[in-house]
Amino acid sequence: MTGALFGAQAAPLTLQSLHHPVPGGVAIVALPSTNRIPPKVTFQNKPVLVVAGQEPRWIAVVGLPLDTKIQTQVLLVTEQQTNTAIKFEIKDKKYREQRITVSNSRHVNPLADDMVRITRELELQNAAYRQFSPNIPSNVLLDAPVKGPLSSPFGLKRFFNDEPRAPHSGLDFAVPTGTPVAAPAAGKVILTGDYFFNGNTVFLDHGQGLITMYCHLSVIDVKVGDILARGQVLGRVGATGRVTGAHLHWNVSLNDARVDPAIFIGQFKP
pLDDT of residue 189: 98
Tell me the CA distances in angstroms from 198 to 141, 187, 230, 269, one per residue in order: 25, 21, 23, 25
Task: Summarize the confidence of residues 213-242 as an average pLDDT.
Answer: 97
Is 119 a residue whose pLDDT tops 80? Answer: yes
Average pLDDT of the residues in 192-210: 96
pLDDT above 50 for 3: no
69-118 residue pLDDT tens: 999 999 999 998 899 999 999 999 988 776 666 556 666 667 888 889 99
Q: What average pLDDT does the segment 17-42 reach?
A: 94
Mean pLDDT estimate for the chain: 89
Write down the pLDDT at residue 231. 98
What is the CB neighbour count within 10 angstroms for residue 222? 18
**Residue 161 binned pLDDT confidence (cut-offs 50, 70, 90):** low
pLDDT at residue 151, rounded to an integer: 87
Residue range 240-251: mean pLDDT, rounded: 92
| Averaged pLDDT, 18-33 | 95
Q: Indicate whether 146 pLDDT > 80.
A: yes
Predicted pLDDT at 111: 81
Task: Give the pLDDT mean for 208-223.
Answer: 98
What percent of the chain lies above the pLDDT cut of 70?
Answer: 89
pLDDT at residue 68, as a whole number: 96
| From 30-39, 67-76, 122-131, 221-230, the region with the lowest mean pLDDT | 30-39
Task: Note the CATH architecture for domain 2-89.
Answer: Sandwich (2.60)
Parse the chain into domains and list their residue ranges.
2-89, 97-265
Calculate mean pLDDT across residues 4-32: 80
pLDDT at position 102, please?
58
pTM of the entire predicted model: 0.88
pLDDT of residue 13: 83
- Beta strand 46-47 with 40-43 is antiparallel
Q: Which long-range contacts (CB under 8 A, 24 or more apart) does 240-243 make?
A: 240/194, 240/199, 240/200, 240/216, 241/107, 241/195, 241/196, 241/197, 241/198, 241/199, 241/200, 241/201, 241/215, 241/216, 242/102, 242/104, 242/107, 242/160, 242/196, 242/197, 242/198, 242/199, 243/199, 243/216
CATH number of 97-265: 2.70.70.10
pLDDT of residue 108: 62
pLDDT of residue 149: 93
Give the pLDDT of residue 18: 97
For residue 107, how many other CB atoms are within 10 A of its CB?
17
DSSP 148-160: SEEES-TT-EEEE
Q: Within 29-106, where are the H helices? A: none
Q: Above 90 in pLDDT, residue 223?
A: yes
User: What does the alpha-carbon distance between residue 42 and residue 90 come to, in Å, rounded to a whole number?
Assistant: 17
